[in-house]
Amino acid sequence: MESQLFTTILSFLGKKHVCNSCLGRQFGNLLTGLSNADRGSALKIFLTMEWEIQHRQAKAGLTEISSLISKDFTVGELSVQRYFPDIESNILPCQICQDFLSIPFLESLAKEARDLASEYEFSTFLVGSIFPPNVIDNEDIIRSSFNLEYGESIKSDFNRELGKILSKLLPEATVEFKAPDLVFTFNLIHNEIDIKSNPLFILGRYKKLERGIPQSKWFCRKCRGVGCNHCNFTGKMYQESVEEYTTTPFFEAAKGISSKFHGSGREDIDARMLGTGRPFVIEISEPKIRNLNFSQIAKQISENSKAKVEVTIDGLTNRTKVREIKTRSSRNAKAYRAVISLDKSLPDDLSFLETVANELTDILIQQRTPLRVAHRRADKIRIRKVSSFKVEEVTKNEITVYIICEGGLYVKELISGDQGRTQPSFSEKLGIPALVRELDVIEVFKSTDPI
């Protein structure tokens, strides 16, 4: 069997001076369980033996061996010295990687990265790199001119080997490809190490125990957050919000650079959010701390808001959950209690109330975008289901009802009819103009089906 590998390597090494890793990498897809440096070293050992045989037979001289000698191949240097003791050692840098793959260089980068990461709390990481384009191009050219078809890329070689060294320096952390806490990017063009801390996602539920608090921080309409007479130089329409009460303690504890609040739908400013609360995800960008004391933060939220906002924290989650709670689960069923003011007193015989309630049970409601939000939302028809409508309390001018409906139903308009834009409505069925005076969200169910 004529050795195809042998011929290829000989012609390649006759022209290029490379380190063990760069030689081994050209055959990186052959055999498994070996580092490229070990592959390269094995090939060089074999070739050096071959050279020694030929040298003893006086068929090969110093020129034939010189390209085998590299900083990481002492066998070559020692073997040459055996026959040429007076030769001065002059080892060139690798012509492919420019010694970016040499172990001492990788070790120095790994140490620097470890020191830079010391201010972060993390348990997983990933290594990435930016190579000078000429290094990549050069390797491509060499591969095509020497028909080297079993190679892997220099970047994945570098990232993996550096990752191995870094893992030893960071025994508490492991390499993770999908969602690492930290990403190290080694920029070999500018000789810089960049650390990116991936966001932290915290899943929880909030209760809003007092009316008049918006869910999101609401910038002043006039100055858009800058501060003006209209907003008393606060930049805000409302001085408090669920978003600010809940995100601030997380943001401070995690030492992030910014935060976002993602709620699963929202209640009106004047509605309370009771029961077990409304799901939310808080996203903290570039966190330095990841092990947060949830019960302490929950306590802090309650204290800062004077018990107007309370949270239950389920734990850490991921970006997929954000999409899920913002889209799919915002249609999850909700239970409401509404205190309704009537424009006229009720008659003495209240038996017709039961008929009205029955007519609004298990029914689809058509709602044009309510007048009160029409300035910021497109005029559309929304269809949502009411699965239960029960009268709980009745006085002369007020009725308290308990409603279970699909998420996204405009409850105030279900009661008032919104000048005919919502059909059918409680007002219409009752024959008396009616308005919601107080509204509470009693429960946010886990699915679109309230049971």
142 binds Zn ion (CB under 5 A): no
Closer CB to Zn ion, residue 139 or residue 428? 139
Contact pick of 231, 325, 399, 403 for Zn ion (by CB under 5 A): 231
Residue 91 lies near Zn ion (rule: CB under 5 A): no
Q: Which two tokens mark 26?
A: 């050209």
Question: Which of 43, 80, 97, 126 is in the footprint of Zn ion by CB under 5 A?
Answer: 97
Minimum CB distance to Zn ion, residue 163 (Å): 18
Pairing state between β 192-197 and 271-285: unpaired
**Residue placing its CB nearer to Zn ion in the complex, 230 or 446:** 230
Query: Which of 15, 230, 306, 372 lies at the binding interface for Zn ion (CB under 5 A)?
Result: 230
Of 1-40, binders to Zn ion (CB under 5 A) are: 19, 22
Residue 423 to residue 413: CA distance in whole angstroms: 9
**Binding Zn ion by CB under 5 A: which of 15, 56, 111, 222?**
222
Cβ distance to Zn ion smaller for residue 24 or 180: 24
Give the relative orientation of helices 133-145 and 154-169 as an angle to the nearest 10 degrees. 120
348 is catalytic: no
Is 94 a binding residue for Zn ion by CB under 5 A? The answer is yes
**In angstroms, what is the minimal distance from the CB of 19 to Zn ion?**
3
Q: Which of 72, 99, 157, 268 is catalytic?
A: 268
Residues touching Zn ion, count (CB under 5 A) = 12
Question: Nearer to Zn ion by C-beta: 220 or 282?
Answer: 220
* Piece of 162-170, 190-198, 223-231, 374-382 that binds Zn ion (CB under 5 A): 223-231
Of 44 and 55, CB closest to Zn ion: 44
Q: What residues make contact with Zn ion under the rule CB under 5 A?
A: 19, 22, 94, 96-97, 101, 220, 222-223, 228, 230-231
Would you please indicate which residues are annotated as catalytic (active-site) residues? 268
